[in-house]
Structure 1
Amino acid sequence: MSSIRVAAVQAEPVWFDLAATTEKTITLIAQAAAGGARLVAFPETWLPGYPGFIWGQSALEQLPLVALYRSASPTVDGPEIAAIRAAAAAHEISVVLGFSERDHGSLYMAQAIIGADGELLLHRRKLKPTHVERTLFGESDGSGLAVVDSPLGRLGALNCWEHMQPLVKFAMYAQHEQIHVAGWPALTSPGTSLLPQLSGGACLTLSRAYALEGSVFVLVPNQLFPRDPAMADATPPELCALVYGPDGSIVSEPIDPDVEGIAYADLDLSAVSVAKTFADPVGHYSRPDVFRLTVDRTPRPVVRLEGPATEPPPAEVPEEIASA
């Protein structure tokens, strides 16, 4: 099988500016396609940028920024996502996009898998926002735990600490995923950089573990955050955009962790089969007689409205009856 060129974006969004970040997204899609990529991946909540303020401010202090952030978050059927889908079709490239999804009064940490024809192949939401993220974002049901059978291979995506949840990962492995996008936030934003569990090194460890456990290629896009020049030597970036192979090795071209760019890799999906000859977690290396996992992927709407939305209009009375 011929190789598939993929791209993991490393860039800074135009913070909380939806129109400008959408325009930048379209530019990066064109750039990745010009570089020969057939798939390009963006970080968690790339649109309109990760809300790092939730980690360093009280709830009351956040209110003005929360209002701004909500207004800058797109809807899945809005013009910004439509423009990105059109760009994917124009450049014949698949896109995995992380965005803060606004759905009426709530926000969700969403991901979209868009085909090279612009079709929305998967729209999913993060199952459990991490720690203080739950003050801003809602939870999802299991309907988004899906792997897409695309022309590039079996493609899936998760956000951030979903990669720390063993059962979530196993649900994805069980669908024989071949290419995975690990969406992470801006990990040098205020607050997150002080938590070892949210360090760039920890997130790369989890991403590499996913590649090894699932015998899957893992794309790790990176959202840059401006760093204080005075702290540059003390807090060097640990996370950079890269691609792991199913054996856990880095298969992408090197990229400077301090600058915007795109990490490219050429994937040979036969490497997935080779890796699984050693350990297939949902095949010969499993023990279904000892362990079983049930995953409920039923959509769970909060309200199910039944029946007509309005009363039916009264039937017209025939003229001969009305005049009798």
Structure 2
Amino acid sequence: MQKPIKVACVQAAPVYMNLEATVDKTIDLISDAAANGAQLVAFPETWIPGYPWFLWLDSPAANMPLVHRYHLNSLVLDSVQARRISQAAREAGIYVVLGYSERSNGSLYIGQWIIDDKGQTVGTRRKLKATHAERMLFGESDGSSLATFDTPLGVIGALCCWEHLQPLSRYALFSQHEQIHVASWPSYCLYRQATAALGPEVNIGASRVYAAEGQCFVIAPCAVVSPEMIEEICDTEAKRQLLVAGGGFSRIFGPDGGDLATPLGEHEEGLIYADLDPSALIYAKSVADPVGHYSRPDVTRLMFNRSATSCVVDFSAPTAAELMVEPAEDQTSEGSNNHPSRTSVEV
């Protein structure tokens, strides 16, 4: 990170489970952020097509019609809709970190897509482990999703929601010297009367601690649940007691954990902005760098498999190296052993 940049953080409600309309709203927010001088804009978790709150409110069998609709409105990379978003980033000249439900053939994944100011893909990632009820809908990723990306703006990384409560995943990104982190959240509006763990205090705290612990800037976009969304998926009073409107708590933190932007009200939609000064990284790192001078690798270290894994390994076709192997010489002389894996012992 060589110079100060201005960033934007989204706090808004999607057009729920409507792919085309939410893409339109995405493009409008990208344009607004760029018009206000931002060089990067970050969106909430599963912004497209909205977070599947229904998973937490009813049985899997009862939710199947909504699951079907959610699949149809999830984003396919390199689709017409995805190309519209890339084009919007290019036309606005802005980096975009988009949270979305990724549809890949028959499976869904909680994804984050980083697009540069030329409309090119910097990187994509998937949430390593879907949280609790999310596992009924979303698949898992692998260590390749714990990656940072070196860009002209700085070293960018991203995680979704409760990935920020996974200490080892956090450390994996810290070890890659992350400078700008996007912490995407759905909204803090579920079970708020039942548990603090899903409320704003804990989750805002997780983003703030990430900034202070990793000495990096954290942009934490957080969606809003609109009254229209409540009406659409809460068909009983019991469900309305569990899912409330609002829940927008977007924040931007400096590498000392301090606030860099004035937050919006939890029901309010819009963008918050902050200027990120790279000198703040130096001040913070000089005090405590967890993967540098403040580490103790002789005592504790992280084992990290960053490889992508596939459910199919194709070994049927010979490799180029195998095709170049010369045939072994025919060993017919006396005393030769045509079975090198066997050992002959003369007594």
TM-score of the superposition, structure 2-length normalised? Answer: 0.84
CA distance in 2 between counterparts of 1:225 and 1:120 reads 29
CA distance in 1 between counterparts of 2:157 and 2:282 reads 17
Q: What's the secondary structure of 1:223's corresponding residue? A: coil
Q: Deviations over 1:216-261 (max 9, x none)?
A: 11001111002579999xx795652220000111001342322111
Which shows bigger deviation, 236-245 or 161-170?
A: 236-245
Aligned residue in 2 for 1:107: 108
Note the C-alpha offset of 1:128: 0.4
Q: Does 1:22 align with 2:23?
A: yes
- Deviant stretches of 4+, over 6 Å: 228-232
Contact residue 219 and residue 252 of structure 2 kept, 8 A: yes
CA distance in 2 between counterparts of 1:263 and 1:193 reads 27
Contact residue 253 and residue 263 of structure 1 kept, 8 A: yes
Note the C-alpha offset of 1:307: 5.4
Contact residue 226 and residue 245 of structure 2 kept, 8 A: no
Contact residue 126 and residue 139 of structure 1 kept, 8 A: yes
**Which residue of the other structure, out of 300, 321, 324, is the alignment partner of 2:309?**
300
Aligned residue in 2 for 1:245: 254
Contact residue 109 and residue 137 of structure 1 kept, 8 A: yes
Aligned residue in 2 for 1:152: 153
- Distance change >3 Å, CA 23–CA 16, structure 1 → 2: same
CA distance in 2 between counterparts of 1:275 and 1:108 reads 34
CA distance in 2 between counterparts of 1:255 and 1:132 reads 29
CA distance in 2 between counterparts of 1:98 and 1:53 reads 19
Note the C-alpha offset of 1:305: 3.5
- Distance change >3 Å, CA 28–CA 139, structure 1 → 2: same
Contact residue 161 and residue 186 of structure 2 kept, 8 A: yes
Contact residue 100 and residue 110 of structure 2 kept, 8 A: yes
CA distance in 1 between counterparts of 2:245 and 2:66 reads 27
Note the C-alpha offset of 1:193: 6.5
Q: What's the secondary structure of 2:266's corresponding residue? A: coil
Q: Deviations over 1:196-216 (max 9, x none)?
A: 211122110000000010001
Q: What's the secondary structure of 2:208's corresponding residue? A: helix
Note the C-alpha offset of 1:192: 6.7
Contact residue 248 and residue 267 of structure 2 kept, 8 A: no
Q: What's the secondary structure of 2:287's corresponding residue? A: coil
Amino acid paired to 1:96: V
CA distance in 2 between counterparts of 1:79 and 1:192 reads 38
Q: What's the secondary structure of 2:201's corresponding residue? A: helix
Q: Deviations over 1:123-178 (max 9, x none)?
A: 10000000010010001111011111011001110001110000000000000001
Aligned residue in 2 for 1:139: 140
Contact residue 148 and residue 157 of structure 2 kept, 8 A: yes
**Identity %, equivalent residues:** 48
Q: Does 1:121 align with 2:122?
A: yes
**Which residue of the other structure, out of 265, 268, 279, is the alignment partner of 1:259?**
268
Note the C-alpha offset of 1:195: 3.4
Note the C-alpha offset of 1:79: 1.6
Q: Deviations over 1:35-68 (max 9, x none)?
A: 1000000000000000000001101110110000
Aligned residue in 2 for 1:224: 224
Determine which structure has more spread, i.e. the larger CA radius of gyration: 2
Aligned residue in 2 for 1:170: 171
Q: Does 1:215 align with 2:224?
A: no
Q: What's the secondary structure of 1:222's corresponding residue? A: coil
- Any unmatched runs of 5+ in structure 2? 232-236, 318-347
TM-score of the superposition, structure 1-length normalised? Answer: 0.89
Q: Does 1:205 align with 2:205?
A: yes
CA distance in 2 between counterparts of 1:112 and 1:169 reads 19
CA distance in 2 between counterparts of 1:135 and 1:262 reads 32
CA distance in 1 between counterparts of 2:313 and 2:14 reads 37
Contact residue 55 and residue 192 of structure 1 kept, 8 A: no
- Kindly report the root-mean-square deviation, in angstroms, between the aligned alpha carbons of the 2 structures: 2.1
Q: Does 1:3 align with 2:4?
A: yes
Aligned residue in 1 for 2:328: none
CA distance in 2 between counterparts of 1:120 and 1:194 reads 40
- Any unmatched runs of 5+ in structure 1? 309-324
Amino acid paired to 2:275: D
Contact residue 110 and residue 125 of structure 1 kept, 8 A: yes
Q: Does 1:32 align with 2:6?
A: no
Aligned residue in 2 for 1:321: none
Amino acid paired to 1:186: S
- Distance change >3 Å, CA 8–CA 48, structure 1 → 2: same
Aligned residue in 1 for 2:97: 96
